[in-house]
Structure 1
Amino acid sequence: MSCSRRNFLAGTGAVIFTTGVATTSVLTARQSVANDDTKKAVRYGMLHDENACIGCTACTDACREVNKVPEGVSRLEIHRSQPIGEFPDVEYRFTRDSCQHCENPPCVYVCPTGAAYKDQETGIIDVHNEKCVGCGYCLAACPYQVRFFNPKTRSADKCNFCRDTNLAEGKLPACVESCPTNALVFGDLNDPKSDINKMMSISVIYRDKEQLGTKPKLFKVPFHKGEV
């Protein structure tokens, strides 16, 4: 029988009723373990500042290289608006389209094999390639239309915040690392001191199709001359 800390405490609990001191010690230990678990819980999110974005697409190039995304498909897109203003005072609004990593993900709910899933430790929405049967339900269910079939893995694919690449190595997602204007901010939404929470506390923000109840974790700072 394994003797983990959890098993040890559970076993001790069977005999601690003979002493109040021991009871208090065990309860304190259990509370400590619970607190440790709470501290470790993270909920990753990203913020795109449309005022800082210059549409250089360094993010899309970095994503493709780091995550080995085949040509013809993309995990993220940067879209340029029509000209705003009159010549010579003309500006453009650049918006990001990628997986929103929804708290309430429709793609996960419709998947018949469990290939689409929400990682409970990070909140990241991801895909088990080996479980995907190519039914396309998740592509149809996604309100943001950001999923695609990867021609190499032959499974549904999308942004996963570089979960298997940069993030696994303790680095920021490739798009964030490569942005020359710091238009992208990534971090733990459960940490009040994280960069993303600091940015959101001083900025006006919005989320795409928030009225659908998907609770997306991709936040955006609206372009100051555009309309949300």
Structure 2
Amino acid sequence: MSCSRRNFVSGMGAGALILMTGKPAQSLAQTLTINEVRYGMLHDEKLCIGCTACMDACREVNNVPEGVSRLEIIRGEPQGEFPDVTYEFYRHSCQHCSNAPCVHVCPTGASFIDEATGIVDVHPDLCVGCQYCIAVCPYRVRFIHPKTKAADKCNFCRDTNLAKGRLPACVEACPTKALTFGDLDDPNSEISRQIREKQVYQTKVELGTKPNLYHVPAKAGEIRR
């Protein structure tokens, strides 16, 4: 019976998750809301001005070294003609997928989904730096932390601001209120209300990752994948 390296690692990741949670990896996503909390974020591209205050706040609060980033605001091509030129801005960060490939392939259980919040995070002390999670992430948002040598990414400030009962640093710093953070499983939360009332999109949903990062498109009637 042959077994490719990818299949072997996937099996190792599933085994590690069973040891840690007592549940097969395939059913893990169905058990994330035991406390009826599933955190997500909404980026309103109509309100974003590309000031990058969110990036600076993230770096400061989470001690992110220069050269790597948990969050990027990507500026699109200029629209219109000078002097009436506008830009579109896109948030590039972890999607906190409910069906996260990075969790399934991790051979040590370092990549995990917090059952209380649905946040995808990393145990740096368990990470061996194999980079399988980086390779499998379809959103290309993970990196190796230059100091800890472990995989790192946005974790909604889970061990900093969120642990203190505050909003993620990027949300607090946004001057135009382009970011909304909250419980997607609470129909009365502000993020749930906005998702119902505004046109929104998620990226690469066809992959079955079930991303929990939503976007309001910069242009009305625009649909993105």
**Common fold by TM > 0.5:** yes
Consecutive unaligned residues of structure 1, counting only runs of 5 or more, are: 1-37
What amino acid maps onto 2:192 in structure 1?
N
SS in 2 for 1:60: helix
SS in 1 for 2:133: helix
Alpha-carbon distance in structure 2 between the residues aligned to 1:121 and 1:227: 32
Q: Taking structure 1 as reference, are residues 199 and 206 closer, same or farther at Cα in structure 2, changes over 3 Å only?
A: same
Deviation at 1:184, TM superposition (A): 0.2
Structure of greater Rg: 1
What's 1:164 paired with? Answer: 159
Q: Between Structure 1 and Structure 2, which shows a larger proportion of helix residues?
A: 1
What amino acid maps onto 2:187 in structure 1?
P
Deviation at 1:92, TM superposition (A): 0.4
What amino acid maps onto 2:148 in structure 1?
T
Per-residue CA deviations over 1:151-198 (Å, capped at 9, x if unaligned) read: 111100000000000000000000000000000000000111111011
Q: Does 1:138 align with 2:130?
A: no
What's 2:9 paired with? Answer: none
Q: Does 1:221 align with 2:179?
A: no
What's 2:149 paired with? Answer: 154
Moved over 6 A (4+): none
What's 1:7 paired with? Answer: none
What amino acid maps onto 1:44 in structure 2?
Y
Alpha-carbon distance in structure 1 between the residues aligned to 2:223 and 2:95: 20
Alpha-carbon distance in structure 2 between the residues aligned to 1:156 and 1:126: 10
Query: Equivalent residues in 2 for 1:200-219 (5 A)?
Result: 200-219=195-214
Consecutive unaligned residues of structure 2, counting only runs of 5 or more, are: 1-32
Q: Aligned match of 1:121 in 116, 120, 127?
A: 116
Q: Taking structure 1 as reference, are residues 215 and 39 closer, same or farther at Cα in structure 2, changes over 3 Å only?
A: closer
Alpha-carbon distance in structure 1 between the residues aligned to 2:70 and 2:56: 10
What's 1:45 paired with? Answer: 40
State, as a whole percentage, how many aligned pairs show the same letter.
66
Query: Equivalent residues in 2 for 1:26-41 (5 A)?
Result: 40-41=35-36
SS in 2 for 1:175: helix
Q: Taking structure 1 as reference, are residues 39 and 142 closer, same or farther at Cα in structure 2, changes over 3 Å only?
A: closer
Alpha-carbon distance in structure 2 between the residues aligned to 1:222 and 1:211: 18
Question: Is the Cα contact below 8 Å between 2:75 and 2:89 reproduced in 1?
Answer: yes
Q: Taking structure 1 as reference, are residues 140 and 190 closer, same or farther at Cα in structure 2, changes over 3 Å only?
A: same
Alpha-carbon distance in structure 2 between the residues aligned to 1:41 and 1:115: 24
Per-residue CA deviations over 1:56-95 (Å, capped at 9, x if unaligned) read: 0000000000000011000000000111122332210000
Q: Taking structure 1 as reference, are residues 39 and 158 closer, same or farther at Cα in structure 2, changes over 3 Å only?
A: closer
Report the TM-score, using the length of structure 1 for normalisation. Answer: 0.81
Paired residues, number: 191
Superposed CA RMSD in Å reads 1.4
Q: Aligned match of 1:198 in 193, 197, 200?
A: 193
What's 2:171 paired with? Answer: 176
Alpha-carbon distance in structure 1 between the residues aligned to 2:90 and 2:34: 33
Question: Is the Cα contact below 8 Å between 2:38 and 2:117 reproduced in 1?
Answer: yes
Alpha-carbon distance in structure 1 between the residues aligned to 2:209 and 2:82: 40
SS in 1 for 2:125: helix
What's 2:61 paired with? Answer: 66
SS in 2 for 1:97: strand
Report the TM-score, using the length of structure 2 for normalisation. Answer: 0.82
SS in 2 for 1:220: strand
